[in-house]
C-alpha cells in the first residue's frame, strides 16, 4: 500500500486526489490499576463493539463506550446531570487490546498515507494517567509495550526498504525527525544535544514563523536525518531522555506539556521532477483535566491554567471548525496558541488525522472520561482535506530543460 503511484504524467499537483474526510476517533480504556486508592466497579462502564458486517456510514452501528456516573461521587462532578452517558467511536479499544493491535488499527493506515505523500496526525487526548504516553510512546518495561512512535518508525523503514528492493524500483526516500515539547506556550527542542546542561529558562526557544502562504515553520527546531530504524529510535531515545529530565520536581511535569514527534518524509522517483514531502505528527497532549479540581496553587496553578488555556484554544478551534462546516463562520482561531498553530494542517486542513481519546474507568476518574469522550464527539465532526504533497524539484526541472535545449540545438545543427 505504501508504494507511491508516481507514474510519469499521471499525477499533476492540480489533479492530485483529494477528498474531504472526517477525523477518525478511537477511544482506548486503560486497565484499572490493581493496587490503587481509587475505587473500581466493572458495571460503571461498558463497551459495545462495532458490528463487523455493518455499514460504516451507519452511525447507529458504530462502536460505543458507556459510563454510569457513580452516585456517591456525582455531587462533586461536572457530568452528573444524567445517570449514564454513551458515546460513539470508530472503534473502542478495550483494556485487553494490545499495543500491536492499537498500531494496526489506529496508526498503520495513517503511516501508509504518509508514505504515499499525505500528511498524517495521530493525537492522544485524555486526563493525566489515562494512557496517552503509553499509547503514543509506549511503556518502558518490556518490548511488547512499545507504542505508536517506535512501531511507526520500524514500519516506515521496513516499507521503504521493501520499495527500494522492489524490482526495477528507483524510488528515493529521505526521513528526518524532530521532537518538540510545548510548555507554557513556549516550544523546546527535545533533540537539542546541549539541553542537558541547562535550566529550562536558558533553553533556546522554538519559534513559529509564518510564510507568505500562511504556512507555519518552526525555527530552532532540529530536523535530523535518519537512514535506519536504529538511527530513528536513537533520536526518539534522546528526546525521551530530555523529556524525563524535564519531569524532575524543579522542572515541568510531563502532564503539563504537549509533545510532538514529527517524521518528515521526502520521496522522489529517479529522473522525475516531482518530489513528495509529507509529515507524520505523533502528538501526546497535556492532561485534559480541569484546573478547578486539581486542587493546586502557586506556580503549579499557573502551569495548570496554561495547559487549560492551550487545550481551551484547541477546543475553540474544534468548535469553530464545526461551525465552519455548517456554514456559520469563516475564521478559525488557530493563532491563539502555539499548539493549534503547529497543528493547523492536522485540524481541518491538509492532513489525515486520527484521535485517540484515552479513558480511565475508576469511579473517581469517570467524570473526566466523560468530558474526554464528549470532546472527541466534536472532533469527529471536523472535515479535513488531505492532498498529495507533490511539487517540482527546481534543480531537476532546470536539468531537464537544459537537456531539452541541448537536444534541440543538436537537431538544429544537423
User: Which segment (200-208, 231-239, 246-254, 398-406) binds Mg ion by CB under 5 A?
Assistant: 246-254
> Which partner, ligand ADP, Mg ion, none, binds residue 204 by CB below 5 to 8 Å per kind?
none
319: CB partners within 8 A, 6+ apart? 378
Is residue 132 a known part of a binding site? yes
Residue 133 sits in the site that holds Mg ion (CB under 5 A): yes
CB 259 within 8 A of CB 190: yes
> Which partner, Mg ion, ligand ADP, none, binds residue 134 by CB below 5 to 8 Å per kind?
ligand ADP
Is residue 358 a known part of a binding site? no
Is residue 193 a known part of a binding site? no
> Which partner, Mg ion, ligand ADP, none, binds residue 49 by CB below 5 to 8 Å per kind?
none
Identify the residue whose cell numbers are 524490482.
Answer: 167
> Which partner, ligand ADP, Mg ion, none, binds residue 243 by CB below 5 to 8 Å per kind?
none
> Which partner, Mg ion, ligand ADP, none, binds residue 30 by CB below 5 to 8 Å per kind?
ligand ADP
CB 283 within 8 A of CB 343: yes
- In the bound state, the residue with its beta carbon closest to ligand ADP is 131
Q: Write out the three cell numbers for 343.
A: 497543528
Residue closer to ligand ADP (CB basis): 33 or 302: 33
Residue 135 sits in the site that holds Mg ion (CB under 5 A): no
Strands (E), 192-332: 207-210, 216-219, 224-226, 257-269, 274-284
Give the CA distances from residue 178 to residues 105, 152, 188, 206, 218, in Å, rounded to whole numbers and listed in that order: 25, 14, 11, 12, 10
Residue closer to ligand ADP (CB basis): 62 or 132: 132
Chain residues binding ligand ADP by CB under 6 A are 30-31, 126, 128-134, 139, 255, 287, 358
Diameter over CA atoms, the chain: 95
Cα–Cα nearest to 196, from 239, 231, 259: 239
What CA–CA distance (Å, rounded) separates 226 from 193? 16
Residue closer to Mg ion (CB basis): 73 or 294: 294
Known binding residues are: 126-133
User: Could you list the residues that contact Mg ion (CB under 5 A)?
Assistant: 132-133, 254
Known binding residues for ATP are: 126-133
Amino acid at each position: 500500500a505504501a508504494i507511491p503511484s508516481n507514474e510519469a504524467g499521471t499525477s499533476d499537483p492540480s489533479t492530485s486526489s483529494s477528498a474531504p474526510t472526517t477525523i477518525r476517533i478511537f477511544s482506548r480504556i486503560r486497565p484499572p490499576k490493581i493496587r490503587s486508592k481509587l475505587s473500581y466497579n466493572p458495571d460503571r462502564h461498558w463497551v459495545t463493539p462495532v458490528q463487523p458486517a455493518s455499514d460504516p456510514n451507519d452511525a447507529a452501528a458504530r462502536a460505543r463506550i458507556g459510563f454510569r456516573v457513580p452516585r456517591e461521587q456525582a455531587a462533586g462532578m461536572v457530568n452528573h446531570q444524567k445517570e449514564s452517558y454513551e458515546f460513539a467511536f470508530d472503534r473502542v479499544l478495550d483494556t485487553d487490546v494490545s499495543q500491536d493491535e492499537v498500531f494496526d488499527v489506529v496508526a498503520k493506515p495513517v503511516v501508509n498515507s504518509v508514505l504515499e505523500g499525505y500528511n498524517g496526525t495521530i493525537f492522544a487526548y485524555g486526563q493525566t494517567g489515562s494512557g496517552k504516553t503509553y499509547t503514543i510512546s509506549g511503556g518502558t518495561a518490556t518490548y511488547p509495550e512499545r507504542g505508536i512512535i517506535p512501531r511507526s518508525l520500524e514500519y516506515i523503514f521496513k516499507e521503504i526498504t521493501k520499495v527500494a528492493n522492489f524490482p526495477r524500483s528507483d524510488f528515493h526516500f529521505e526521513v528526518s525527525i524532530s521532537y518538540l515539547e510545548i510548555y507554557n506556550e513556549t516550544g523546546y527542542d527535545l533533540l537539542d544535544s546541549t539541553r542537558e546542561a541547562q535550566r529550562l529558562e536558558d533553553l533556546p526557544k522554538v519559534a513559529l514563523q509564518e510564510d507568505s502562504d500562511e504556512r507555519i515553520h518552526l525555527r530552532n527546531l532540529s530536523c535530523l536525518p535518519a537512514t535506519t530504524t536504529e538511527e530513528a529510535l536513537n533520536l526518539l531515545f534522546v528526546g525521551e531522555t530530555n523529556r524525563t529530565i524535564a519531569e524532575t520536581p524543579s522542572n515541568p511535569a510531563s502532564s503539563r506539556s504537549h509533545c510532538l514527534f514529527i517524521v518528515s518524509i521526502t520521496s522522489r522517483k529517479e529522473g522525475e521532477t516531482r518530489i513528495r514531502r509529507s509529515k507524520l505528527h505523533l502528538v501526546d497532549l497535556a492532561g485534559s483535566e480541569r484546573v478547578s479540581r486539581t486542587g493546586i496553587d502557586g506556580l503549579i496553578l499557573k502551569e495548570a491554567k496554561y495547559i487549560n488555556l492551550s487545550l481551551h484554544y484547541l477546543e475553540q478551534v474544534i468548535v469553530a471548525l464545526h461551525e465552519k462546516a455548517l456554514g456559520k463562520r469563516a475564521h478559525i482561531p488557530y493563532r491563539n496558541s502555539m499548539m493549534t498553530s503547529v497543528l493547523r494542517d492536522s485540524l481541518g486542513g491538509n492532513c489525515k488525522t486520527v484521535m485517540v481519546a484515552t479513558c480511565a474507568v475508576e469511579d473517581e476518574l469517570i467524570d473526566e472520561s466523560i468530558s474526554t469522550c464528549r470532546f472527541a464527539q466534536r472532533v469527529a465532526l471536523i472535515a479535513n482535506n488531505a492532498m498529495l504533497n507533490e511539487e517540482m524539484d527546481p534543480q531537476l526541472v532546470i536539468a531537464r530543460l537544459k537537456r531539452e535545449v541541448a537536444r534541440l540545438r543538436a537537431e538544429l545543427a544537423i
